[in-house]
Structure formats: structure tokens, C-alpha cells
């Protein structure tokens, strides 16, 4: 079975949300300086690159990244392309969305940081569409954009809708080479105690028929 890596690498220059802490990698120990091993020291916001937000990201009293439910991040998923020119996406805009309930939905907006730049805008589900999906069993919403909410959002309505329902999210996926349709997703977040987000290594495999 072919594994498709849909993770954006953490590297110097990986675009961060404007004003957030960029990724950097220094060295605490170097063999070239006479140390016995190489040991790196990483500084970064957990929102750089491919990551899962924790409910703590939008509410002080909600759980951190170490409490994210792992079963939400593994299992059947559907990739759906969305109209890039739209700002808010309704369910009718998701041509690849099947009629039966979907537990994991990955939106291919083509507005990704994978190209090396932070996008000025991107399409996102409307709060009503997000509410309809979680009421119908959605457990995880992913996107190749930097956020499941629009860039200009201040109330983060989609985040709140997901987290209130016990659902999760994935942001900054790399779906540029992924076809619409069913896949098997594995994207476990790191267990970082008390953090508001955690990096993930996200991969897709074709579903066995």
C-alpha cells in the first residue's frame, strides 16, 4: 500500500502565522566542535507546519494537546476540493462529499503554505456547514490552509463548533498531489502537556477495497 506524506516540513523558512514564533533549529552540541554527539535545540510555535489545534487554543478552560483523542486522528477520511474563489464553503460546494456520514474530512483549498508563502486568504467552511457535519458524526476536520476558520476571523466559530462537539482539527496539510475521494488517514499529534497545539506527521494510504 502506497503511503502519501501530506505533512509540511518544519524547517527554517516554513511560513508561520504572521506575528507568531517561526521555526528555528540551533545546536547545543556539535561533533564538529568536539562533542560526542550532535544535539539540536528547536524553537517554534506549535502552529508552524502541519499540526492539530487543542481546544485550549480557543478557550482557557478546555483541554491541551496531551488530551486530544487519538482515535480521531486515524481512520477513513475523505479529501474534498473546494472552490478557491469562495470565502465561505457550504456543504453543496463539496462535490466529493459522499451522501453517507463522514468522520474525517480533509479540505483541499490550494491555499497552502507548502509553496513557501503565507496565503492572504483561503476558503473555509461556514459555521452552519461545520455544525451540520459534526451533528452528522464528523470527528475531524482538516485543511491544507493555515486555519479551519477564515484568516480574518476573530471569533473562530468553526474551531468552537468542532471542539464543543468533541471533534478535532488538522491545519497546514499538504494536499496538492492528493486526489479527491476516500483515503485512510494517520496523523497522531505529539503528546505535549499543556500546549495549545501539537505538530503531527500526517500520512494517507489508499483505502483497501
- Considering the candidates 57, 74, 160, 176, report the single residue annotated as catalytic: 57
Residues with Cβ within 8 Å of residue 90, at least 6 apart in sequence: 126, 128, 129
Is 57 one of the catalytic residues?
yes
Cα 162 vs. chain centroid, distance in angstroms? 13
User: Is-contact 197 52, C-beta < 8 A?
Assistant: yes
The CB density around residue 135, as the number of other CB atoms within 10 Å, is 11
The CA distances from residue 57 to 11, 27, 44, in Å, are 23, 30, 16
Rg of the chain (C-alpha set): 17
Known catalytic residues are 57
Amino acid at each position: 500500500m502506497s503511503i502519501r506524506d501530506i505533512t509540511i516540513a518544519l524547517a527554517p523558512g516554513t511560513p508561520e502565522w504572521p506575528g507568531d514564533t517561526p521555526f528555528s533549529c540551533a545546536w547545543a552540541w556539535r561533533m564538529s566542535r568536539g562533542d560526542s554527539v550532535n544535539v539540536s535545540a528547536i524553537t517554534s510555535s506549535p502552529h508552524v507546519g502541519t499540526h492539530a489545534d487543542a481546544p485550549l487554543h480557543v478557550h482557557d478552560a478546555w483541554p491541551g494537546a496531551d488530551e486530544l483523542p487519538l482515535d480521531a486522528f486515524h481512520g477513513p477520511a475523505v479529501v474534498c476540493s473546494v472552490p478557491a474563489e469562495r470565502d465561505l464553503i457550504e456543504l453543496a460546494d463539496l462535490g466529493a462529499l459522499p451522501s453517507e456520514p463522514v468522520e474525517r474530512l480533509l479540505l483541499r483549498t490550494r491555499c497552502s503554505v507548502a509553496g513557501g508563502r503565507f496565503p492572504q486568504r483561503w476558503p473555509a467552511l461556514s459555521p452552519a456547514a461545520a455544525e451540520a457535519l459534526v451533528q452528522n458524526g464528523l470527528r475531524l476536520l482538516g485543511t491544507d490552509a493555515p486555519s479551519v476558520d477564515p484568516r480574518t476571523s476573530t471569533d473562530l466559530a468553526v474551531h468552537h463548533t468542532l471542539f464543543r462537539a468533541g471533534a478535532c482539527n488538522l491545519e497546514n496539510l499538504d494536499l496538492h498531489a492528493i486526489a479527491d475521494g476516500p483515503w485512510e488517514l494517520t496523523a497522531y499529534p505529539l503528546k505535549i502537556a499543556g500546549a495549545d497545539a501539537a505538530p503531527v506527521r500526517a500520512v494517507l494510504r489508499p483505502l483497501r477495497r
